[in-house]
Amino acid sequence: MIADKLKTSYGAIGGIMPVLLLTSGQTILVLLILALLLFGAKRLPDSARALGRSMRIFKSEIKAMEVEDKKEEGEEESPK
């Protein structure tokens, strides 16, 4: 299969090459396991909650900036 072709054309598979052969579902699973090992089961929900809060704040700030830009464009385009 693919691994056999890689062995013949690139030599033995080693290093980071096996990671490239993972499907997207397997990659996500590997990343989740690594996060669990690095942060521990106790800190992982708190970290996810903090990340969610940060993303909500970031999105609301982006939306506020877009609204402000639209207001400024409207003021510049209106005749004085």
DSSP string computed for 58-80: HHHHHHHHHHHHHHHHHHHHS--
* Length of the chain as a residue count: 80
How many Cα atoms sit within 13 Å of 57 on the Cβ side?
6
Contact 43, 49 (CB under 8 A): no
pLDDT tens-place values along the chain, 80 residues long? 555 555 554 445 555 555 556 678 888 888 889 988 888 888 888 988 999 999 999 999 999 999 999 888 887 766 55
pTM, entire model: 0.49
CA 41-38-35 angle, to 5 degrees, is 70
Task: Give the per-residue pLDDT at 3.
Answer: 55
- CA–CA gap between residue 80 and residue 76 (Å, rounded): 9
